[in-house]
């Protein structure tokens, strides 16, 4: 039986603003096994990044974890004080942030920023820490690491800065790596390199990974499990094959239909998800996707459905699954070949 490294139970996170309480995450649950790669997908405002910041306990005022449990290696970290979390962050749980240019300190060299983490958590001397920093830059594919270790962030390209962030995050060989939109604003060639890097590091270090993105194409090649979020809730959860070949929630289907495909021809229009996400200051009573859902029924706006278990690893929150057989098939417009068999 696989060892659970992370288990999130009924997590609720809010931001208290002058307009009211923004219920960014409204009671989500999922788990991650050791060595597993999980993708959390959904459009902007769905609660993906807030979930990751909640796990890292990096929420700042006016954000707050209202309730729920976050078990890391069997220990609940929700009530841990910041001093205790300092020993976990960067050492056992690390994070690659969305924008490396704002995450890296511009007045310190890349080497100094990697060494700081190593000295803080592993207690190595400055000389030994520098040697390890060079090794980490080499591991993530930075050319001439002996020279680059003395460079500043502005001297690195976008892709190299992202690799440097990975070097910092992985310098203490964490058990869990959270990557928040690691390929945003990078060209497709660099995106491919970053994803290949993450796969290589998983194999070499056996690190569990949570990959947060709005791009289903990114998770198709690397993730074994996918969590689809919308309106602060988990709409659907399953293996990559479940999500791509047998989606059950209309929101998941909408995301899949919006993926550009070469086989459709240049004159074939993409099918967008019309409408806008719900207001999380006053979230809807029922399913948050009701206003945009082509299959919406009256009950959808009145009551939120419970999760329907399709199989051991696949569940979805949709009234259609209560009305029809769990084996129903819906057209997603997706053909085989997106996910590796």
For 22-51, the pLDDT digits (tens) are 999 999 999 999 989 999 999 989 999 999
Q: Which of 41, 42, 69 is nearest to 55 (CA)?
A: 69
For 141-174, the pLDDT digits (tens) are 899 999 999 999 999 988 889 889 888 988 888 8
For 80, counting Cβ atoms within 10 Å of its Cβ (0-12 exposed, 13-18 middle, 19+ buried), the class is middle
Domain map of the chain by residue range? 1-92+174-334+336-340, 102-171
- Residue 280, pLDDT > 70, answer yes
For 234-248, the pLDDT digits (tens) are 999 999 999 999 999
Domain 1-92+174-334+336-340 has CATH 3.40.47.10: no
SS3 285: coil
- Confidence at 97, pLDDT banded by 50, 70, 90: confident
What pTM, to 2 d.p., does this model score?
Answer: 0.88
What is the rounded average pLDDT of the residues 271-300? 93
pLDDT of residue 324: 53
């Amino acid at each position: 039986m696989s060892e659970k490294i992370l288990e999130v139970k009924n997590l609720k996170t809010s931001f208290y603003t002058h307009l009211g309480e923004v219920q960014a995450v409204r009671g989500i649950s999922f788990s991650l096994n050791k060595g597993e790669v999980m993708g959390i997908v959904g459009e902007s405002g769905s609660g993906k990044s807030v979930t990751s910041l909640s796990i890292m306990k990096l929420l700042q005022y006016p954000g707050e974890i209202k309730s729920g449990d976050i078990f890391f290696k069997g220990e609940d970290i929700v009530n841990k004080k910041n001093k205790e979390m300092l020993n976990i962050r960067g050492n056992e749980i690390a994070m690659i942030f969305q924008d490396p240019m704002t995450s890296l300190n511009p007045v310190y060299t890349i080497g100094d920023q990697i060494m700081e983490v190593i000295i803080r958590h592993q207690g190595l001397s400055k000389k030994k820490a520098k040697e390890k920093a060079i090794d980490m830059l080499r591991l993530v594919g930075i050319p001439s690491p002996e020279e680059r270790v003395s460079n500043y962030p502005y001297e690195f390209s976008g892709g190299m800065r992202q690799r440097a962030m990975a070097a910092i995050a992985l310098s203490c060989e964490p058990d869990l790596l959270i990557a928040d939109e690691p390929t945003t604003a990078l060209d497709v060639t660099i995106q491919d390199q970053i994803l290949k890097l993450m796969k290589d590091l998983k194999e070499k270090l056996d690190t569990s990974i949570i990959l947060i993105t709005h791009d289903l194409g990114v998770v198709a090649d690397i993730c074994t499990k996918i969590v689809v979020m919308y309106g602060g809730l988990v709409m659907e959860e399953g293996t990559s094959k479940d999500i791509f070949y047998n989606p059950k929630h209309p929101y998941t289907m909408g995301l899949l239909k919006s993926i550009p495909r070469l086989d459709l021809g240049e004159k074939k229009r993409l099918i967008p998800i019309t409408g806008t996400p719900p207001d999380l200051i006053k979230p809807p009573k029922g399913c948050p996707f009701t206003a945009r859902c082509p299959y919406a029924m009256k009950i959808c706006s009145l009551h939120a459905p419970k999760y329907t278990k399709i199989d051991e690893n696949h569940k979805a929150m949709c009234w259609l699954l209560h009305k029809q057989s769990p084996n129903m098939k819906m057209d997603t417009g997706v053909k085989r070949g997106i996910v590796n068999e």
